[in-house]
C-alpha cells in the first residue's frame, strides 16, 4: 500500500483501511490487535497485507477473548502505546463491556489524571446484510450512557478517515462504530494526507426549513435519498443532520436546526426504547419545547432483538427509504 | 530462613536455601516494611472505629508476601499492578506513607483526588498503576503494559501483578494469563492466597488445592511459596523476574498466607469462620516470626527492634496528623479529569 496526498474516491472499507495504514506508518506507538487481523487481514480484509509490512507485534492476532482484547489494550494505552483494538463484530463486544465501561472510561477519572487511556475500539455494527440475530446489532445505546466514553459512528468515507484519525489522536478512549452495510455500498472522495474531523461535531448534510431529521450511519444515506426525492417530487424542504459523533453529542447543531424548522424527526436502526433518539428527544424537549410545531417523531428499529435471518424478518426490522419518506411527508404536513 | 512448623509449610523445592542473598540492610528494610504495613493497617481500623474515616481495608497476614515482593520490585524500572490489599507492597515499592494517609482520609492531595476507596493507590511516577476495584480487571492491564515493555525492547523491565486467590476465578484472570503465556511476556504474577475471598473459602472458589497448578494451562511455571516467609517471597519473585528479563516469559507465584482481619472494616469475619481457625494461623504471624529470625541470626538486636517499632509508630503518627489536617477536595472537583478538556461543554 502507498500513502497518497491526493483526493481519492473510495468506499468506507477502503477509508478505514487507508487510515489504519497511515496510522501504523506514521506513529510507531500505534498497533492493531484483534481476532484474525493478521494473515487473514480481518474478516472484511481491512488489514490485509498489514502483517507483512508491519510485523506480528504491530498487527497482533489475539486469542479469541474479547475482554482481554480491550483489557490488554487498556494496559498498553496506560503504558504509552496507542492501541487500535478491534472487536470482530459488535455483537461480540459484551465480554469486553467490563473493560470498556468499568476500566477504560474511568481510568483518567479514577486516577484524577495520573493515568490516561488513549485507546480506540473499532467494531462493525448494524444490519441489512443477512447477518442474522448475531451479526447485525447496533450497540451505541448500550454504551452512550457512560460518561467519559466517546462514541463515533461515521457514515461517509471522508468522515470515516477524519474521525478515525481523531479517535487515534484522542487522549481518551473512543468507541468507533462502522456500519457494515455502508462498507462497500457507500463511496466518496477522501482527501489524502492526515486530517481530522472533530469528535462531537455533527454535519448538516442537506439544508431545509420544514423538518429536521437527525440520523447517523447507514440511515443518513437513506434519509438524504428520501429528502432529495421529496424535494424533487413534492418540493418539500427537509434538513438532514448526520450526527457522526454520538457522544459527546452536538447539541448546538441539533437545537439550531430545530429552532429553524420547528419539527424534529430522529431516525436510527437501533431499537427505539432507550435509544439515541430518546436522549435527543429529551434534550430538545428540555431546551426547545416551545419552538416545536409538531410532536417529535422517532423512526427506529422495533423493540425486538435485531434481526431475523430470513429476508422478510430482516426487511421488517430495517427502516426502508419509503417509510422514511412517508414519515417525513407526514411531519412536514403536520 | 529456618521454619517453624507451619500451616504455610512450603513445597519442598521452595524450602531450599534461597538463591538470592539479601544484605543485612535489605533484611532490616524488609522488616521495617512489615512493621510499617502492620502499623498502618492498625491505624486504618482505629480511625474507622473513631468515626474519622468511613472505610479501611486491612492486610494483616500479608506483610511477608508484600515486603518480599516490594524488595524484588526494581524501582524506576518495573511496573506494579497491585490490588486493594497491597498498601504494604506499594509502600515497599516506593509509595510514600503520607500519601497512604491522604488516601485514607480522602484528602485533596490524594493522587486519585479522593475519588476512590482507600488502598486503591495510584502513582504513575513510581510505576504504581491505578486499580479500579473490579476484581481481576487489572490483570489484562498488567499484561498489556508488559507487552508494551517487550514492544519497546525494554529488556530490563518487568510488570508485577498481584491478586487474591478469589480473583483467579474471574474469566479475565484466565484471559490475561493466557495472553501472557502465548506472548511470553515479561511479567510476574503473584497470588496472595489468604484462603478467603470475603466469606468464601478457597474450596468453594476452585476445585484444586493450589492456585499455582493453573499456570500449566497457560504454558508457564507455577511456584508455591510460604507467604509468611519474606525471604522465600523475595527469592521467588526475584527468580521469576530474572527469568522474565532474560526472555523466559511469565511465572505464576502462589504465596500462601492468611487474612487475619475481617475483609474490610465493613465485614465481620465471625459470621463465617471460627476464632480457632484464625488463631491457628496467628501462631505463625509473619511479623513476630521474622523478628525472631532476625534476632536469632544477629541481624537486629532486641533494642534495634524496639527502636524500629518506635520509629515506625512516629512516622505513622506524623502522617496521620499531617493528612488529617489537609483539606478535602472541593466539590467542584467532581467534574474534572473525566477526559482531557471539557466533556460535553454544553452541560
Ligand atoms: C468483579 C468484582 N466482583 C466482586 C467484587 C466484590 N469483592 C471485593 S473483594 C472480594 C473478594 C476478593 O477476594 P480475593 O481475590 O481472594 O482477595 P482478598 O480480598 O482475599 O485479598 C469481592 C468478592 C469486586 N470488587 N469485583
A118 and A226 assigned to the same domain: no
A176 and A272 assigned to the same domain: no
Pull the grid cell for residue B153.
Answer: 525492547
Provide the CATH number for the domain around residue A289: 3.40.50.920
A135 and A16 assigned to the same domain: yes
In a domain, A196, yes or no: no
Query: Which of A147, A166, A191 finishes a domain?
Result: A191
A297 and A212 assigned to the same domain: yes
Provide the CATH number for the domain around residue B70: 3.40.50.970
Listed residue (A170, A195, A155) closest to A84, CA to CA: A170
* B134 to A98: CB separation less than 8 angstroms, yes or no: yes
In a domain, B5, yes or no: no
Cβ contacts below 8 Å, chain A against chain B, sum to 149
Residues of chain A found within 8 Å of residue B150, distances taken between Cβ atoms: 57
Alpha-carbon span B108 to A112, nearest angstrom: 10
Listed residue (B73, B86, B72, B93) closest to B40, CA to CA: B86
Query: Which of A157, A191, A225 finishes a domain?
Result: A191
Identify how many contiguous H helices and E strands chain A contains and give both numbers. 13, 14
pLDDT band at residue B3 under the 50/70/90 scheme: very low
pLDDT of res. B153: 97
Query: Torsion over CA of A162, A168, A170 and A175, rounded to 10 degrees?
Result: 90
* B143 to A73: CB separation less than 8 angstroms, yes or no: no
- Measured from the Cβ of residue A244, the count of other Cβ atoms closer than 10 Å reads 27
- Is the overall model pTM greater than 0.90, yes or no? yes
The residues that bridge with B190 in the sheet, in sequence order, are: B162, B253
Atom 12 of ligand 1, residue of closest alpha carbon = B197
How many Å is the maximal CA-CA distance in chain A?
A: 60
Atom 3 of ligand 1, residue of closest alpha carbon = B135
A101 and A14 assigned to the same domain: yes
A134 and A215 assigned to the same domain: no
Question: Using CB atoms and an 8 Å cut-off, which of residues 193-252 of chain A contact chain B?
Answer: 200, 247-249, 251-252
B141 touches chain A (CB under 8 A): yes
- The total number of structural domains in chain A stands at 2
- Domain span at residue B84? 24-195+206-218+231-324
The backbone torsions φ and ψ at residue B87, rounded to the nearest 5 degrees and listed phi first, read -60, -40
In a domain, A198, yes or no: no
Alpha-carbon span A124 to A176, nearest angstrom: 9
Indicate which residue of B20, B272, B273, B282 is catalytic: B272
A154 and A218 assigned to the same domain: no
| B189 close to B250: Cβ distance less than 8 angstroms | yes
The angle that helices B24-49 and B302-324 make with each other, rounded to 10 degrees, is 40
The residue of chain B nearest to residue A31, with distances taken between CA atoms, is B151
| A53 close to A1: Cβ distance less than 8 angstroms | yes
pLDDT of res. B347: 57
Q: How high is the mean pLDDT of chain B?
A: 94
pLDDT of res. B11: 44
In a domain, B1, yes or no: no
* Residues with pLDDT less than 50, chain A: none
Report the SS3 class of residue A203: strand
In a domain, B134, yes or no: yes
Asked if residue B75 has pLDDT above 50, the reply is yes
Residues of chain B found within 8 Å of residue A87, distances taken between Cβ atoms: none
pLDDT of res. B20: 86
Alpha-carbon span B62 to B163, nearest angstrom: 12
A326 and A215 assigned to the same domain: yes
Alpha-carbon span B288 to A286, nearest angstrom: 65
Residues with CB under 6 A from ligand 1: B 85, 133-135, 163-167, 192, 194, 196-198, 259, 263
The backbone torsions φ and ψ at residue A33, rounded to the nearest 5 degrees and listed phi first, read -140, 145
Place of cell 483539606: B327
* Sign of CA pseudo-dihedral A227, A228, A230, A236: positive
The residues that bridge with A176 in the sheet, in sequence order, are: A122, A152
pLDDT band at residue B2 under the 50/70/90 scheme: very low
Q: pLDDT per residue over B30-70, tens digit each?
A: 999 999 999 999 999 999 999 999 999 999 999 999 999 99
Asked if residue B346 has pLDDT above 70, the reply is no
Pairing of β B200-201 and β B196-197 = antiparallel
A183 and A271 assigned to the same domain: no
- The total number of structural domains in chain B stands at 1
Say which residues have a Cβ less than 8 Å from residue A123's Cβ, sequence separation at least 6.
A86, A87, A88, A89, A90, A93, A139, A175, A176, A177, A178
In a domain, B200, yes or no: no
A176 and A223 assigned to the same domain: no
Phi-psi region of A214 (alpha: psi -120 to 50; beta: other; left: phi over 0): beta
DSSP-assigned letter for residue A31: E
pLDDT of res. B88: 98
In a domain, A147, yes or no: yes
Pull the grid cell for residue B264.
Answer: 474490610
Report CA(A130)–ligand 1 centroid distance (Å).
Answer: 42
In a domain, A2, yes or no: no
In a domain, B8, yes or no: no
In a domain, B32, yes or no: yes
pLDDT of res. B72: 98
In a domain, A129, yes or no: yes
A44 and A185 assigned to the same domain: yes
Asked if residue B1 has pLDDT above 50, the reply is no
Counting from 1 in the atom list of ligand 1, the atom nearest the Cα of B192 is: 21
In a domain, B64, yes or no: yes
DSSP line for B258-287 = ---S-SSTT--GGGTS-HHHHHHHHTT-HH
Question: How close does chain B come to A332, measured CA to CA in Å?
Answer: 29
In a domain, A70, yes or no: yes
Atom 11 of ligand 1, residue of closest alpha carbon = B197
Alpha-carbon span A239 to A283, nearest angstrom: 19
Place of cell 492526515: A194
What is the predicted ipTM? 0.96
Alpha-carbon span A29 to B210, nearest angstrom: 39
Residue spans of alpha helices (H) in A7-65: 12-26, 50-54
Cα→Cα distances A94→A32, A122, A268, B62, Å? 20, 14, 21, 35
Q: pLDDT per residue over A80-107, tens digit each?
A: 999 999 999 999 999 999 999 999 999 9
Q: pLDDT per residue over B269-322, tens digit each?
A: 999 999 999 999 999 999 999 999 999 999 999 999 999 999 999 999 999 999
Provide the CATH number for the domain around residue A167: 3.40.50.970
Pull the grid cell for residue A285.
Answer: 424537549
A78 and A149 assigned to the same domain: yes
Asked if residue B208 has pLDDT above 60, the reply is yes
- Domain span at residue A63? 7-191
* B337 to A112: CB separation less than 8 angstroms, yes or no: yes
Cα→Cα distances A133→A27, A129, A182, B54, Å? 38, 11, 19, 47
| B81 close to B161: Cβ distance less than 8 angstroms | yes
Identify how many contiguous H helices and E strands chain B contains and give both numbers. 12, 7
Exposed, middle or buried, A272 (CB in 10 Å: 0-12/13-18/19+)?
Answer: middle
| B300 close to B294: Cβ distance less than 8 angstroms | yes
CA angle A155–A74–A14, rounded 5-degree value:
30
Amino acid at each position: 500500500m502507498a500513502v497518497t496526498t491526493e483526493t481519492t474516491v473510495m468506499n468506507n472499507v477502503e477509508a478505514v483501511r487507508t487510515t489504519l495504514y497511515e496510522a501504523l506508518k506514521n506513529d510507531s506507538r500505534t498497533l492493531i490487535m484483534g481476532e484474525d487481523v493478521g494473515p487473514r487481514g480481518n474478516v472484511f480484509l481491512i488489514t490485509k497485507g498489514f502483517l507483512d509490512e508491519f510485523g506480528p507485534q504491530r498487527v497482533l492476532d489475539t486469542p479469541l477473548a474479547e475482554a482481554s482484547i480491550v483489557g490488554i489494550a487498556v494496559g498498553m494505552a496506560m503504558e504509552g502505546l496507542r492501541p487500535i483494538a478491534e472487536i470482530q463484530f459488535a455483537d461480540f463486544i459484551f465480554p469486553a463491556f467490563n473493560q470498556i465501561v468499568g476500566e477504560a472510561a474511568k481510568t483518567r477519572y479514577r486516577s484524577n489524571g495520573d493515568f490516561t487511556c488513549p485507546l480506540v475500539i473499532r467494531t462493525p455494527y448494524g444490519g441489512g446484510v443477512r447477518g442474522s440475530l448475531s451479526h447485525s446489532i447496533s450497540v451505541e445505546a448500550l454504551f452512550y450512557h457512560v460518561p467519559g466514553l466517546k462514541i463515533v459512528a461515521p457514515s461517509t468515507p471522508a468522515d470515516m478517515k477524519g474521525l478515525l484519525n481523531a479517535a487515534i489522536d484522542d487522549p481518551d478512549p473512543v468507541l468507533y462504530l462502522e456500519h457494515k452495510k455502508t462498507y462497500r455500498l457507500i463511496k466518496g472522495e477522501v482527501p489524502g494526507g492526515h486530517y481530522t474531523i472533530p469528535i462531537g461535531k455533527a454535519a448538516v448534510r442537506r439544508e431545509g426549513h420544514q423538518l429536521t431529521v437527525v440520523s447517523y450511519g447507514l440511515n443518513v444515506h437513506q434519509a438524504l435519498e428520501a429528502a432529495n426525492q421529496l424535494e424533487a417530487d413534492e418540493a418539500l424542504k427537509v434538513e438532514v443532520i448526520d450526527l457522526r459523533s454520538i457522544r459527546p453529542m452536538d447539541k448546538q447543531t441539533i437545537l439550531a436546526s430545530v429552532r429553524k424548522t420547528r419539527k424534529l424527526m430522529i431516525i436510527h436502526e437501533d431499537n427505539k426504547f432507550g435509544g439515541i433518539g430518546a436522549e435527543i428527544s429529551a434534550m430538545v424537549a428540555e431546551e426547545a419545547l416551545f419552538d416545536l410545531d409538531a410532536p417529535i417523531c422517532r423512526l427506529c428499529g422495533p423493540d425486538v432483538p435485531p434481526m431475523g435471518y430470513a429476508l422478510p424478518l430482516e426487511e421488517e426490522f430495517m427502516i426502508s427509504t419509503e417509510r422514511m419518506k412517508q414519515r417525513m411527508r407526514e411531519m412536514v404536513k403536520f | 530462613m529456618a521454619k517453624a512448623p507451619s500451616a504455610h509449610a512450603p513445597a519442598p523445592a521452595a524450602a531450599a536455601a534461597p538463591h538470592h542473598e539479601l544484605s543485612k540492610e535489605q533484611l532490616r528494610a524488609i522488616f521495617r516494611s512489615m512493621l510499617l504495613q502492620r502499623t498502618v493497617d492498625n491505624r486504618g481500623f482505629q480511625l474507622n472505629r473513631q468515626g474519622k474515616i468511613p472505610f479501611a481495608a486491612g492486610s494483616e497476614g500479608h506483610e511477608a508476601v508484600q515486603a518480599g515482593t516490594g524488595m524484588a520490585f526494581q524501582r524506576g524500572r518495573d511496573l506494579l499492578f497491585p490490588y486493594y490489599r497491597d498498601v504494604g507492597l506499594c509502600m515497599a515499592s516506593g509509595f510514600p506513607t503520607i500519601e497512604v494517609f491522604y488516601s485514607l482520609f480522602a484528602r485533596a492531595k490524594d493522587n486519585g483526588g479522593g475519588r476512590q476507596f482507600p488502598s486503591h493507590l495510584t502513582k504513575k511516577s513510581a510505576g504504581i498503576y491505578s486499580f479500579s476495584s473490579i476484581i481481576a480487571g487489572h490483570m489484562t492491564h498488567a499484561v498489556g503494559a508488559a507487552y508494551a515493555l517487550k514492544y519497546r525492547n525494554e529488556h530490563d523491565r518487568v510488570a508485577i501483578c498481584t491478586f487474591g486467590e478469589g480473583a483467579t476465578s474471574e474469566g479475565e484472570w484466565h484471559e490475561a494469563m493466557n495472553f501472557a503465556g502465548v506472548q511470553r511476556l515479561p511479567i510476574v504474577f503473584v497470588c496472595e492466597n489468604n484462603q478467603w475471598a470475603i466469606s468464601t473459602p478457597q474450596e468453594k472458589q476452585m476445585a484444586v488445592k493450589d492456585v499455582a497448578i493453573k499456570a500449566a494451562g497457560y504454558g508457564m511455571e507455577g511456584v508455591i511459596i510460604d507467604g509468611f516467609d519474606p525471604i522465600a517471597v523475595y527469592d521467588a519473585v526475584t527468580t521469576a523476574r530474572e527469568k522474565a528479563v532474560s526472555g523466559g516469559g511469565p511465572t505464576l507465584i502462589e504465596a500462601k498466607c492468611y487474612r487475619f482481619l475481617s475483609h474490610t472494616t465493613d465485614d465481620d469475619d465471625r459470621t463465617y469462620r471460627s476464632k480457632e481457625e484464625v488463631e491457628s494461623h496467628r501462631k505463625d504471624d509473619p511479623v513476630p516470626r521474622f523478628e525472631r529470625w532476625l534476632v536469632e541470626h544477629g541481624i537486629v538486636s532486641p533494642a534495634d527492634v524496639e527502636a524500629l517499632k518506635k520509629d515506625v509508630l512516629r512516622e505513622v503518627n506524623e502522617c496521620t496528623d499531617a493528612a488529617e489536617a489537609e483539606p478535602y477536595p472541593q466539590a467542584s472537583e467532581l467534574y474534572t479529569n473525566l477526559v482531557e478538556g471539557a466533556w460535553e461543554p454544553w452541560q
